[in-house]
A = this chain, B = another copy of it.
C-alpha cells in the first residue's frame, strides 16, 4: 500500500513547454526525479542519499503517510499527525535531495521531463511511484455514498460520517431512521475492510457505550461484504477463518460471495436484497494512478503498468515504475503484492540500479521480491499474522502487529505518541480523536 494517490488526468498532448525549473543541476550532475513520496518513492529517495546526483522528490502532499494505520484515523483512535510526517523534515539532512510540492500532469519521455501543468522538470532518471487510489469498477457515481480510504481527507471524512451517524440516530424520532443510521456497511474483505469493520465494531461496542441517552450504540449493525468466497484472500484459508470468527465475535456480520450491485444514499443492494444504511465505506478495490497513460502504454485491468525484471517501463530504460502502480513478477506465487514492504523493496531496488549506472557499473541482478509475511488486525486484541513458515492469530498476533507497526513508523516522537495512544485506548476503551470536523450538514 503506497501512500500517494494521484487523481487520474487525461493523457496530455506531449508538446515541448518552456523549461522554467529546476535550473540545470549545478556542475551538470545527473538529475533523478521521483514522483510520489509513499513507501516506494521515499525509500528510493533515501537510498539515493549519497548519490552524486541532484534528486528531486515530487508529491502532491507535503507529508509521507503511513497508510496501513489510516483506518485508525478513520475510527478516531489516532490523529492524522500521528501517522504523517512532512517529507521535507524526513529528508532535511539529505542535501542532494529537493522536495517539490505539486501535481504531476504527464511525462514527456522524448524530452525527458516531468510535466506539472506549465512547468517542466527535466530528468536523467525518472522513478514513478504514484501508487493507487480506490476504484469503483466504473461506478464512480457510488463514490459520494461510499468513500474509500486512501488519503487523510478520506479518513477524516469517514470519521465524520461514522460519528455523525450516531448523533443522527440519537436525534432521530422514529425507529426506522435510527436503524439506518446505526447500520454500517464495509464493502471489501481485504485487510483494510477487515480492519475497518473491526474498528467500527469496537467503537460502537466499547468507546461510545455510555455517551448517548436515547440510543444504545452497542446495537449498531456492522456488515462486512466480500465478493469472493472468503475474507483476506491473500492469506492462508485457516487465517481467513480466524479473521471471520474474530469479527463475528465482535458482532460484525460477515457476508462472503456477495457482489454489491447498488450503492446510493439509502444503502447497498445486491440481487433482490437491500441493506438500509447511511454509512457505507468502500474498501473493495484500487486502480493505479495514470502512470500507464503518461507513458503512452497499456495498463492492466487495474491500470497498473507491467514492468520488467529491472522495474523499468517497457522501452524506457531510464523510467522506473515502482510500488503499487507497477506489476512486477514475483516468485512462483504470482505478481508482487501491493503492500508496503514490497513497495519499499522496489524503491530501494530502483535506487540501486540508478547508483550502479551512475557509477558506470553493470546493472544488478533482476529484482526479486522477498515476502516477509502478511498481517491484519481485528479489533483491540486480535490479529492474524502469516509468515512463510509459521502462522499466528489472536492476542499474540495482535502484540506482534502492534510492535511491527510502531517499529515501522517514522520518527521517535510518533512511535511514542502512537504507542501511548494504543496503550491508553486499550486500557480505557476510549478513543481520543472523536472529532467531527468539516461541514456540519
Chain A residues proximal to chain B, CB less than 8 Å: 20-21, 60-63, 79-82, 84, 86, 88-89, 92-93, 98-103, 152-153, 156, 163-164, 167, 170-171, 173, 208, 210-214, 413-414, 416-417, 420-421, 424, 430, 432-438, 440
- Structural contact, A173 and B21, CB atoms closer than 8 A: yes
Copies in the complex: 2
A70 to chain B, nearest CB (A): 13
Q: Contacts A80-B435, A171-B21: A61 and B92 contacting too (C-beta < 8 A)?
A: no
Q: Which residues of B contact A430 (CB under 8 A)?
A: 89, 413
Q: Contacts A101-B167, A167-B101, A210-B93: A436 and B61 contacting too (C-beta < 8 A)?
A: yes
Q: Which residues of B contact A416 (CB under 8 A)?
A: 420
Q: Which residues of B contact A89 (CB under 8 A)?
A: 211, 430, 434
Q: Among the listed B211, B413, B433, which residue makes an inter-chain contact with A81, where contact means beta carbons less than 8 Å apart?
A: B433
Write the chain B residue with the least CB distance to A160.
B62
Most buried by B among A20, A82, A101: A101
Q: Which residues of B contact A214 (CB under 8 A)?
A: 98
Q: Contacts A62-B163, A98-B213: A153 and B437 contacting too (C-beta < 8 A)?
A: yes
Q: Which residues of B contact A153 (CB under 8 A)?
A: 437-438
Q: Which residues of B contact A152 (CB under 8 A)?
A: 435, 437
Q: Which residues of B contact A436 (CB under 8 A)?
A: 61-63, 101
Q: Which residues of B contact A417 (CB under 8 A)?
A: 417, 420-421, 432
Q: Which residues of B contact A433 (CB under 8 A)?
A: 79, 81
> Complex formed: what's the CA distance from A424 to B62 in Å?
21
A105 to chain B, nearest CB (A): 13
Write the chain B residue with the least CB distance to A151.
B437
Most buried by B among A170, A214, A417, A421: A417
Write the chain B residue with the least CB distance to A172.
B21
Q: Contacts A167-B62, A171-B21, A416-B420: A437 and B101 contacting too (C-beta < 8 A)?
A: no
A45 to chain B, nearest CB (A): 13
> Complex formed: what's the CA distance from A173 to B21 in Å?
8
**What are the 8 closest A-B residue pairs judged by CB atoms, nearest first?**
A88-B211, A81-B433, A92-B210, A79-B79, A86-B434, A98-B213, A101-B167, A79-B81
- Structural contact, B434 and A62, CB atoms closer than 8 A: yes
- Structural contact, A100 and B62, CB atoms closer than 8 A: no
Most buried by B among A152, A424, A437: A437
- Structural contact, A435 and B81, CB atoms closer than 8 A: yes
Show 10 residue pairs from A and B whose CB-CB distance is below 8 angstroms, ordered by the A residue. A60-B440, A61-B436, A62-B163, A62-B167, A86-B435, A93-B210, A99-B211, A101-B164, A413-B424, A417-B420
- Structural contact, A211 and B103, CB atoms closer than 8 A: no
Q: Among the listed B21, B103, B171, B420, which residue makes an inter-chain contact with A102, where contact means beta carbons less than 8 Å apart?
A: B171
Q: Which residues of B contact A213 (CB under 8 A)?
A: 98-99
- Structural contact, B79 and A82, CB atoms closer than 8 A: yes
- Structural contact, A103 and B440, CB atoms closer than 8 A: yes
Write the chain B residue with the least CB distance to A417.
B417
> Complex formed: what's the CA distance from A86 to B431 in Å?
10
- Structural contact, A171 and B100, CB atoms closer than 8 A: yes
Q: Which residues of B contact A103 (CB under 8 A)?
A: 440
> Complex formed: what's the CA distance from A100 to B170 in Å?
8
A298 to chain B, nearest CB (A): 29
- Structural contact, B173 and A211, CB atoms closer than 8 A: no
Q: Which residues of B contact A440 (CB under 8 A)?
A: 60-61, 103
> Complex formed: what's the CA distance from A416 to B153 in Å?
27
Write the chain B residue with the least CB distance to A95.
B213
